[in-house]
Structure 1
């Protein structure tokens, strides 16, 4: 902590005595075969900082850019793996079909997912680990960005720890003629017997263009590594699984303890963009996304024991269905309003379910949630001083966002088929959420090497929920009503102190209004039931970020970013009372009562270092390390989403049409005493008896562009076959994973 404060003090002192700073460097982004080790730093043009394309060197924020080249070289199984592959974000998994990114000590519903400018977070995004990001098809992306720190001025609620912006593959208009093209990918991964096929079809003309991407993936049971940590040689072994024979459940010995039985699933995605030219200055784009899965086993629940027997005979998420339809009108001549404008109207539908049955019990519980989401965004950009040689712009906009949620639950006797209602996860009378917001941002260039950017946003938020069944759980009220108004702002400075020295400083605050998930009844955690707390209010985070980037030559880039976050009214799960009791019986089990609570204040601080070095034109090396520490100051206990320190070192050699790369991944561990109280009951599932274990991994990869039409790739992940789990995960990571892929372009 002392070292961190010293580094932060030095950075901020430099800013105060000179002028403030920026992280992003001034070189344009590479094209073609630019190495991914360089593109990870925010070069060229970014969109996440203001909702408009702008030069990264003008942005006083830390941003990770994931390019199409990064995606095509690493060919991630899911969008969650793609984010993890950036080396700057830790991702938690409760099951193979999962992935919950942790950004600067925040995660789940305190980080925002945006797809083509539309917020994906909805009213039931939970504070427990999420898997919604896997609904995005990594093969259908033109790229992605991770904006670190609060982004509420641009995006509203939930953008506290950061914003993940995903840009799907766009259709492109051409001036003359027509164009037909596309590409296809076939990938096999040995660790889960994964087979993925993806096809992209593109059509372009002057007046209309289309892009269609279809992807199907099938994952078998995941095989973990065989080299276990000597301190916990049995942690993570799948020694048994539950199976039903006739009219009884049995605990079956697993003949292969590395095979994580009951972890496989399948997924299908269709992504469509259809672009129309209305005039020379205006276009309309239809965007459509369809994503669904098979049943996804909740692996961490399937390995829990109760008095030496399996706790659950069945536990799986039903098919995760997500569709999004959007229409976006863009013009480069907004007349009175500004130079450019974009209006997006969107509709989304989400369906998810939780399905479980206790071992040797006949009641099968199914909780089903459906969410209808509508939104309209209007964004405008205007020049404030066209005569100035420096960028001086005004960006402003309005947003309306609405959710309608239905929630129901049933118990079905698997022997008799009798179906009866039971307590739903969310209020059974229906819930409506509305949000209306307006924002203004200004970027003002003071000179060729100094600029200031700032903004403010006001958001009105309302949640109205009706509870019909109050008797089953002795709920002392029949409705929930929440109507907060939140004002957030940001201000930042960038300064190019000299050739090869760029610095930035930024102060921003973000907020998250309590959503419906904060008022749920949940018994998904071992030994714990989470009950509603009707007194919740929005949580806020204010972050000071300082950074410096050194690029003394075209071969070397070094960036250091430090941040300090003050969180107030932070919502965390803590022990509570329900009708005066600290434990209650639910579904035949005595459980401790917890509730989401505004805990008061928390402090999170961290440091991120990135180094990129071109040893020679053919050989490039990249290294990054991320340190985050977070504690609730009221009770001096850790925050669970502040991941342990992690780092990567990678090297890529590309002498011609083929390339080789190697990477080393490392993560520190965390002692059991340093886990937050709500995590202590997960020992044996997410954590060993020693806590979160440190881990390391070595990867190798090679690729060969045989012709312009054909590319072959071979990857070996986790070469040394180490057994490990990423922080807070309930399933072990893949063991040695041999991945073979073929890509065809036409």
Structure 2
């Protein structure tokens, strides 16, 4: 083991021990009568994500973590992915600065379900590798984020193998009475950050009368090229340095020597997010909500590809995601008056349109390959709740339909002429899901709660491959499958604030169009080709938790989890229908790989969380997650398994000042623990794998007046240069940000 690695591990352990000791000291002080001014939120908190309706967190036998608007406000993150990173409980991978792919319970991308205001974001082309779609939600318009870890298929259907990230945006606030006049609230933010010369402007306005409310939110951000840290690893000097990049000068591609290797050239981008809600409440117990969201970006450079070398020279002159656009519109009707069949019913139809593209041009070439995708999604959700004595029943149904238009063309950047090339996905494909669920909770005694649930799901995918580019034996795919899933959980409340819970749950993920029909060149020089014969993945998930809560003083929890995955979809060498293991694609010969079903895989680990009061003005928080995963069929590591990671923090609040000091850390992951699939981008890391790291951070908020506040922060104080596991770009170096807020 490298000496630097040993030192870092020692630092992490010491910091965690200090945090735990401080929280223990705070508990002891509270017990001898010192008042607490900061409330520790524990199991009495109300959450929505577990069963789509409000319920006490204490009654749920599954780990749920909540990120609230007040926490996001203090963190002042650049985007929603960074907000998740700052929890210390979600690992996030990045291939480019404008990216962020969350990992839960060893699952990533299309094996995690993203939900916004009760509507699933996952669509037919959510890929298995790494995603950046969570960036299309604006952190400044978020009311709360609920992170449901572990299989969630009973309530949410396909894709929720690793868990659910449920994002709830802010709502209009209605006036209390006609006499008080309209209720008006506005929040405005101007922020600048040094690491990427970030400029962010946010404004939102809520207008509320007795029956009608309006909420408008607009956020515009501009990020220059990201600067990485200056303090690198002694054993790998210069790792992550950007030595040269490509520019277009006088109609030619030119390699430019970087005058500052810490600036990761060609990584910056811009983003605009708009949200509009209209709330109509004609009477108590009835609500109508119209929810419109729009997100768009500039071209987002794919940094890891732009730093790809071939034969000692930079390979690409261009490699970027074209403007990524998401349009979302939903209508929600909620009726909350008890009837014979329900106490509450919620009906949510929605439409979405997602446009994305990939623009790729080799160095010195005038021809640019352009792949453009347009996905149109319609969905409808029906959720009902009924309470009968000690029993609570939640039931409902969901249906979605995706249609994918895929275009492949080659454009001459000088003449503008275009010719057709292979599409990334089969054009005109459809992907549809339906499902019905029922979840039941029985309060056997005030201390013993039983939960159970069932869901039946059906999925159908139709894809037609263009014979001009593919062999006749894969001309089409018409797949349909169904799945019956269930869960069983128990919560036992013990004396002195102790709580024990256990959960058994099954889940599934049906292969989508990205799994079945994608054609894509990987970083390791192989080509992913279509495999129409994929089957659904199935998971059997177990979770057990022990926690202790002293109201207002301390909450500590340790969770163990174990997943068995069958028919797991992994990337493996693939023989084409003509018996060949290579193929010609866009004029080049590649070894072929494809998504295939492996026999069995397992993922297991531990998660620990701690929140405690340290006297009247301080609180302490700590979290750590350890995960292991292995493909049992081939006896190799699984991909997407992050190293040990976590966070520790101490917060201070007194009068007008709020401050937080924190440390984020990741352990090391050696080469032997990498999957052979190439998904974890070993080629983008050091020869010994991903190295451990930690950053120290300080954030403050000072309330100048009732309406004006100023925020500042110093992130990565020691200016550590590091690259998170599976990422293709180094993280931000020392970043000083300054923000001004106006609210009234």
User: Does residue 1:662 correspond to 2:652, yes or no?
Assistant: no
User: Does residue 1:648 correspond to 2:641, yes or no?
Assistant: no
Q: Distance in 2 between matches of 1:393 and 1:681?
A: 43
| Aligned residue in 2 for 1:230 | 234
Greater alpha carbon shift after TM alignment, 571-580 vs 294-303: 571-580
- Asked whether the equivalents of residues 198 and 216 of structure 1 are also in contact (C-alpha less than 8 Å), the reply is yes
Q: Distance in 2 between matches of 1:737 and 1:255?
A: 20
Shift of 1:542: 1.3
Q: 2:321 aligns with which of 305, 309, 317?
A: 317
Unpaired runs of at least 5, structure 2: 1-35
User: Does residue 1:282 correspond to 2:282, yes or no?
Assistant: no
Greater alpha carbon shift after TM alignment, 712-721 vs 526-535: 526-535
Q: Distance in 2 between matches of 1:676 and 1:598?
A: 15
| Aligned residue in 1 for 2:221 | 217
| Aligned residue in 2 for 1:18 | none
| Secondary structure at 1:77 match in 2 | coil
Q: Distance in 1 between matches of 2:215 and 2:463?
A: 40
| Aligned residue in 2 for 1:239 | 243
User: Does residue 1:408 correspond to 2:407, yes or no?
Assistant: yes
| Aligned residue in 2 for 1:741 | 739
The 1:412–1:449 alpha-carbon spacing in structure 2 relative to 1, beyond 3 Å, is same
Q: Distance in 2 between matches of 1:513 and 1:678?
A: 20
Shift of 1:681: 9.0
Q: How does 1:280-679 map to 2 (within 5 A)?
A: 280-333=284-337, 335-385=339-389, 390=390, 392-428=391-427, 430-467=428-465, 469-518=466-515, 519-552=517-550, 554-578=552-576, 579-679=578-678
Deviation track 1:438-489 (CA, whole Å, cap 9, x = no partner) reads: 000001100111111110000111011122x223243523211110001111
Q: 2:725 aligns with which of 721, 727, 738?
A: 727
Q: Distance in 1 between matches of 2:665 and 2:305?
A: 27
- Asked whether the equivalents of residues 526 and 681 of structure 1 are also in contact (C-alpha less than 8 Å), the reply is no
Shift of 1:384: 2.1
| Secondary structure at 2:340 match in 1 | helix
Count of paired positions: 704
Deviation track 1:151-204 (CA, whole Å, cap 9, x = no partner) reads: 111111100000000000011223413112211011111000001111110011
| Aligned residue in 1 for 2:10 | none
Shift of 1:207: 1.2
| Aligned residue in 2 for 1:173 | 174
| Aligned residue in 2 for 1:710 | 708
Deviation track 1:208-241 (CA, whole Å, cap 9, x = no partner) reads: 0111111000000000000001121121100000
Shift of 1:116: 0.3
Shift of 1:516: 0.3
| Secondary structure at 1:134 match in 2 | helix
Q: Distance in 2 between matches of 1:420 and 1:735?
A: 43
For the aligned residue pairs, the C-alpha RMSD in angstroms reads: 1.5
Shift of 1:125: 0.2
Deviation track 1:327-377 (CA, whole Å, cap 9, x = no partner) reads: 000001263331100000100000000000011122101000001100111
Greater alpha carbon shift after TM alignment, 129-138 vs 500-509: 500-509
Greater alpha carbon shift after TM alignment, 692-701 vs 550-559: 550-559
| Secondary structure at 1:72 match in 2 | helix
Shift of 1:422: 0.4
Shift of 1:554: 3.7
- Asked whether the equivalents of residues 497 and 503 of structure 1 are also in contact (C-alpha less than 8 Å), the reply is yes
Shift of 1:68: 1.1
| Secondary structure at 1:279 match in 2 | coil
Shift of 1:279: 2.9
Deviation track 1:640-660 (CA, whole Å, cap 9, x = no partner) reads: 111000121110111221022
The 1:521–1:498 alpha-carbon spacing in structure 2 relative to 1, beyond 3 Å, is same
User: Does residue 1:111 correspond to 2:142, yes or no?
Assistant: no
| Secondary structure at 2:304 match in 1 | helix
Q: Distance in 2 between matches of 1:172 and 1:290?
A: 22
Q: Distance in 2 between matches of 1:311 and 1:698?
A: 36
Deviation track 1:612-650 (CA, whole Å, cap 9, x = no partner) reads: 221212011111110000111111111111100012111
| Aligned residue in 1 for 2:688 | 690
Deviation track 1:74-97 (CA, whole Å, cap 9, x = no partner) reads: 011111111111110000001111
Q: Distance in 2 between matches of 1:309 and 1:681?
A: 23
| Aligned residue in 1 for 2:75 | 74
Deviation track 1:705-726 (CA, whole Å, cap 9, x = no partner) reads: 1122011111000000000111
The 1:278–1:632 alpha-carbon spacing in structure 2 relative to 1, beyond 3 Å, is same
User: Does residue 1:97 correspond to 2:94, yes or no?
Assistant: no
Q: Distance in 2 between matches of 1:42 and 1:126?
A: 35
Q: Distance in 1 between matches of 2:470 and 2:311?
A: 26
| Aligned residue in 2 for 1:14 | none
Shift of 1:255: 0.6
| Aligned residue in 2 for 1:164 | 165
The 1:374–1:493 alpha-carbon spacing in structure 2 relative to 1, beyond 3 Å, is same
The 1:723–1:59 alpha-carbon spacing in structure 2 relative to 1, beyond 3 Å, is same
Deviation track 1:566-619 (CA, whole Å, cap 9, x = no partner) reads: 011111111111232223332343322110011111000010111222121201
The 1:276–1:681 alpha-carbon spacing in structure 2 relative to 1, beyond 3 Å, is closer
Q: Distance in 2 between matches of 1:660 and 1:283?
A: 38
| Secondary structure at 2:514 match in 1 | helix
| Aligned residue in 1 for 2:17 | none
The 1:553–1:269 alpha-carbon spacing in structure 2 relative to 1, beyond 3 Å, is closer
| Secondary structure at 1:70 match in 2 | helix
- Asked whether the equivalents of residues 474 and 532 of structure 2 are also in contact (C-alpha less than 8 Å), the reply is no
Shift of 1:561: 0.3
- Asked whether the equivalents of residues 199 and 214 of structure 1 are also in contact (C-alpha less than 8 Å), the reply is yes
Shift of 1:552: 4.4
Shift of 1:669: 1.4
Unpaired runs of at least 5, structure 1: 1-32
Q: Distance in 2 between matches of 1:597 and 1:667?
A: 31
